[in-house]
């Protein structure tokens, strides 16, 4: 198996909702495991929260995520951005539309000085995204 790098995003109790949203956006296979399935007692208060989620998109996109366990600090989108790039403009524009909907656009998706279309936003879950559409060929 080849090495790969993919983001692992932490959420504060809404990982299931976020990963289902990303699953709708990217397609592919979504696997979710809860803290309860791993043996966390119900009285811990996080048994239904996501301990690990993995979305493997049909187009090669992979996201992993979890809800932070009690006592762990949650700082969404402060140290990492997820970058989507390629030359499939139609796919990447659809991704941009969904990711920016209900979020905050920092840089509108438009042609930049280096010739590509680029945009940056924070989605409704607090995750920072960059979308870069390169010129084909």
Judge if 14 and 57 occupy the same domain. yes
Judge if 62 and 102 occupy the same domain. no
Q: Has residue 73 been placed in a domain?
A: no
Question: Which has more confidence, 29 or 39?
Answer: 29
Q: Has residue 53 been placed in a domain?
A: yes
Which CATH number is 101's domain given? 3.10.180.10
Q: Who contacts 10 (Cβ-Cβ below 8 Å, separation ≥6)?
A: 65, 66, 67, 68, 74, 76
Indicate if the pLDDT at residue 70 is higher than 80: no
Domain span at residue 60 reads 8-67
Q: What is the per-residue pLDDT across 51-64, written as a single tens digit (0 to 9) for each?
A: 899 999 888 889 98
DSSP 62: E
Query: pLDDT exceeding 90 applies to what percent of the chain?
Result: 44
Please tell me the distance from the alpha carbon of residue 39 to that of residue 21, in angstroms, as a whole number: 26
Q: How many distinct structural domains can be found in the chain? A: 2
Judge if 106 and 59 occupy the same domain. no
Average pLDDT score over the chain: 86
Judged by average pLDDT, the poorest of 47-61, 62-76, 91-105 is 62-76
Strand partners, 128: 81, 122
What pLDDT is attached to residue 137?
63
Judge if 60 and 16 occupy the same domain. yes
Per-residue tokens: 128: 């920072």
Q: Three-state SS string across 82-100, please?
A: EEEEECCHHHHHHHHHHHH
- pLDDT class of 1 with cuts at 50, 70, 90: very low
pTM: 0.74
Angle made by CA atoms 106, 22, 7, in degrees to the nearest 5: 70
CB 132 within 8 Å of CB 85 = yes
Q: Has residue 15 been placed in a domain?
A: yes
């Amino acid at each position: 198996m080849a090495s790969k790098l993919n983001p692992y995003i932490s959420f504060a109790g809404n990982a299931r909702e976020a990963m289902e949203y990303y699953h709708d956006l990217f397609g592919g296979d979504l696997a979710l495991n809860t803290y309860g399935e791993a043996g966390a007692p119900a009285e811990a208060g996080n048994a239904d929260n996501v301990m690990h989620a993995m979305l493997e998109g049909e187009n090669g996109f992979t996201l992993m995520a979890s809800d932070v366990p009690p006592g762990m600090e949650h700082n969404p989108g402060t140290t990492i951005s997820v970058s989507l790039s390629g030359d499939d403009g139609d796919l990447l524009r659809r991704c941009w539309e969904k990711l920016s909907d209900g979020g905050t656009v920092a840089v509108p998706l438009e042609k930049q000085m280096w010739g590509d279309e680029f945009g940056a936003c924070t989605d409704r879950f607090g995750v920072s995204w960059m979308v870069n559409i390169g010129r084909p060929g």
